[in-house]
Structure 1
Amino acid sequence: MGAVFNTLPLSETENLSNISPNRADWLTSHADATGLAVVEVERLWNRFKQLTGSKDQTKLYPDSSTVANELSNDIFVKNFLKHIPRPKSDISSIPFGTFIIVMQWIDSASVQNKLAAIYHYLNNGEPIDSFMISKLLKHVYRDAKEDEIRALSLQFMQQLGGNDQAKVNMSQFIMGVQRAIPPNELDELLKFDIIPVHLLDEASVLPSLQGSATNIRSIDNFGSNDQVSDEQLRQIANQVANKDWSRLAVTLGFLEYDIESYKVTNGNDSAATMLELLRTWREQSGSTATKSRLKRHLNESGFPELTYILN
């Protein structure tokens, strides 16, 4: 994966590494340098702050303890960050500009290029064997027995065109995955949108931040009355607390792993957990955390009766 990322135009954002995130043009400067929409940069900045555990840290040091909380113990996150290229001026850091360019590549790369990146990610670009697959599967199926892992790894190798003794090269891996998984399903599995397409459509009616070369929308055309308030989030959290509230959490984009973690930190209090999830959703969504969008999520998760709270 490192070999793939090393071809990216990282120089586009190098001159932004010393800009303070407190400056008004922090987001717009990165948007103009990369061609991303401001709302996409805003989403990625919120994700980056999750990684650093800081609101103003512009560089991530993944080899140190600064990677936030449970992310520092996630082997997949650690391996992914390890493969992101580093600037020559500070080889231990990942600047925010580099991070968003890598995310932009993942958003737009072809299926074949993504599979090539995954191949490099799995074994540092070296041929894949059943032993490596077994190691990977142990992290995925933590409760599986050794013989079950062994059987799964052999099945995986056979699907790729190899066997117990052989090693699979990159071409075999790409062809094997494409042969084993239907194209539509593979596209969906590898799909990564910085901002889902329908949200970009919604963002077209919102104002860009001032100072951007791509700011073609007028801030006067947009009122603040569509933003979700704390009181509205609190009412929704209280209303769903005694129901299957996890449906709403999943619809908001949280994984089961995230939900369980929030439950633990909130003492298994359903209302408190849901409120924190809603606040996190609002923070991560930035300017697209609108009433109309939250209404859609309530409808999709089976709580249409609560949309009145957002009127």
Structure 2
Amino acid sequence: MTFLVCGEALYDVFVGAPTPTGFALDARIGGSAFNVAVGMARLGMPAGLFAGVGTDALGDGLAAALAAEGVDPALLRRKALRTTLALVALGADGGARYSFYGENAADRALTEADLPPLDGVRALMFGCLSLLTEPTGSSYLALARRARALGPGRPLITLDPNIRPTVEPDMDVWRARVAAFAACADLVKLSAEDLSALHPGVDPAEAARAFLDSGVKLVALTRGGEGATIWGRFGEVRMPAPEVAVVDTVGAGDSFLAALIAALAADGRATPAGLAALDAPRARAALGFAVRAAALTCARRGADLPRRAEVGAGEGEA
């Protein structure tokens, strides 16, 4: 049964040193959903990507990279459109600022006619700019609602908003769409930046309680160098981040989510019922694995997510 990641596949274009005529640019395959799918595959999980991918040379490169990583290509929808570019400027701390160039691009062109059957799908994972870009965003929301309506035995549904104000600066638009997807979700993962953008000044524990009260079963909050926290029926579990020399933070949140789901799946907990019954020791084990995976990604250039042997065992892993 496949973990199906739904969202964009694009190229991160890093802005390098100035040259006499401009800037050096370094283009690398990426996109939040693309990264999560690759991260899942590298951790030994059966993963697929449901995304629009262009038929241009860049789209061919994305499809080839997915195949090389062992990500199931069956649900790629090839479109005779361009491939989105995300211009990445890095700060002194390795933090990334994004500008997106994706009008009329393939990842924004999925319609409800493109939606796949859910037979054999173990989990659906949604997030980032594909929540909003149309018609893709509405198509994904229809898929999430279809999965939620299946009842007992349905797929696990996860949400990682990955707020990108350069795609949509109006936070009310983001709030409405996040709320719509969260109404379907079993697991919601946010970064501290996401939470601050969506709900300025709101205490993280209060925000987590609101999600849990609405029917979400597990809430995860990443805090960069301060580690991460998860909430569930077991209460609250915190985990510090390992110390690493940060190259950049691109893909760190994607690595965290892929590793969290992979750890829960290895423990037999990556189901709606499994999350509902999760206890604190098992939550700590999964969280420990996830923060180590994210730290390894921060120590590398771009979204280069780790393999299971690299993450290894450590504090908090079952």
Structure with bigger strand share is 2
TM-score (norm 2): 0.28
Q: Higher Cα Rg: structure 1 or 2?
A: 1
Give the alignment's TM-score, normalised by structure 1: 0.28
Higher helix share: 1
